[in-house]
Amino acid sequence: MKLPDTQNASVDMGVTLEECRARCLANCSCLAYAAADIRGGGDGTGCVMWAYAIVDLRLVDRGQNLYLRLSKSEIDGRKRFPTLLVATTLPSAVTILLVVFMIWWRRKNRIIGAIPRNPTMAVPSVSLAIIKDITRNFSKSNIIGQGGFSIVYKGQLPEGRTIAVKRLKQTALTTKGKNDFAREVEVMVGLRHGSLVRLLAYCDEGKERILIYEYMQNKSLNIYIFGSGESVIHRDLKPGNILLDDEWKPKIADFGTAKLFADNRTGHDQTIVISPGYAAPEYVRGGEMTLKCDVYSFGVILLETLSGQRNGSLQRLLSQAWELWEQNRIIELLDMTIVPLPKSEPEILPELKRCIQIGLLCVQEMPDDRPAMPEVVAMFTSTTSQIDWPRRSVLDSRIVMPLNLSLELDTDHLNPTAIEVRSPSSRSSYCCLASNQSN
């Protein structure tokens, strides 16, 4: 402590510090005292006493002790001050905590009501006004894609970040559509994977149902295989919902995959939405959803990438691939932009043939015959390991399923009938007998 100004002080070098203390206590005008000389160490000697006013008092390093003279009432008041402070502030603090808790509880219930069955909500909700601002009120010039149930807009955040805004069409906001929206948010919140497009926020305000995703700069794989075209978002895996970021890293977007992840490993879907050419046979036949459905779709995409052809509703690409495989002419399936291969890289041809073989393994008729996705990854990463020989099913229902054939039979006047469906190549046929006595 730097001692105060000595203008109102008295100095006596002939007394000790203890005697100085006694003098200060006996003098009603004394406000403080200190040693006059501290060079000898200890408490020092001499006495400096201040009366009436203490001026220019500062706290400094290597200062000197200053002793203040206080009344007993001031000392008792200071002792009671912490208790008084706690007694007055504790109820206020408890009240504030209760208010904060009630606000948090109401907000939590509101989120749970909008997104059911989600105990760990980590995606914020955004107001409709903010979304309108970043999409220029859903301007048509901001549209980057649309499907049967939604429109995707490009948006710009104030800090410059680009995002993708998926807005459900009003015609899709049925009870099922709202449930699908809630499920998609619920599932995407729980998924943290580098190959899934990340959900950033959502909006559930009035009649609007909106999802905000990270923006994929290079759009979908569909464009680079088949060229630009109308983007239709479906439930199953297909090139149209494999997006490429600015580093050409593929990420799976959509939107319908949430239903596959949310349910158990197997299940049945009563409302079948088919993307022609990509849906697995067991899904088309009975709505059965398994992880092997994704394997099938992946195999179709792989063969499309290598051949540069669409599979389409008639499954012509798969039929052609199986024909060429059985005739040992599978290299003819490759895209002409890939072949002829440079003579300096002859090892590429076996690698491409191996990729086609993996694709055919993935599109085998029976789910149990298809490899699991970890096995598919291992086939690509370990190019020296042996892989199974793909088998084409005798009952190749891929030729029949896409025809969407619907038969209405009058069971009251049904005579013995034979129905035969023959494949385009006439290699196989299927016969079904229906018999009933007419009345």
Active centre residues (catalytic): 236
Two structure tokens written together for 395: 């009952």
Assess contact for 211 and 166: CB atoms under 8 A: yes
Those residues whose C-beta lies under 8 Å from the C-beta of residue 41, and which sit 6 or more positions away, are none
Ligand-binding annotation for 166, yes or no, is yes
User: Residue 151, class by beta-carbon neighbours within 10 Å (0-12 exposed, 13-18 middle, 19+ buried)?
Assistant: middle
**SS3 per-residue string spanning the chain:** CECCCHHHEEEEEEEEHHHHHHHHHHCCCEEEEECCECCCCCCCEEEEEEECCCCCCECCCCCCCCEECCCHHHHHHHHHHHHHHHHHHHHHHHHHHHHHHHHHHHHHHHHHHHCCCCCCCCCCECCHHHHHHHCCCCCHHHEEEECCCEEEEEEECCCCCEEEEEEECHHHCCHHHHHHHHHHHHHHHHCCCCCECCEEEEEEECCEEEEEEECCCCCEHHHHHHCCCCCCCCCCCCHHHEEECCCCCEEECCCCHHHHHHCCCCEECCCCCCCCCCCCHHHHHHCEECHHHHHHHHHHHHHHHHHCCCCCCCCHHHHHHHHHHHCCCHHHHCCCCCCCCCCCCCCHHHHHHHHHHHHHHHCCCCHHHCCCHHHHHHHHHCCCCCCCCCCCCCCCHHHCHHHCCCCCCCHHHCCCEEEEEECCCCCCEEEEEECCCCC
Measured CA to CA, the distance from residue 274 to residue 292 in angstroms comes to: 16
* Residues annotated within a binding site for ATP: 166
Binding-site annotation: residue ranges: 166
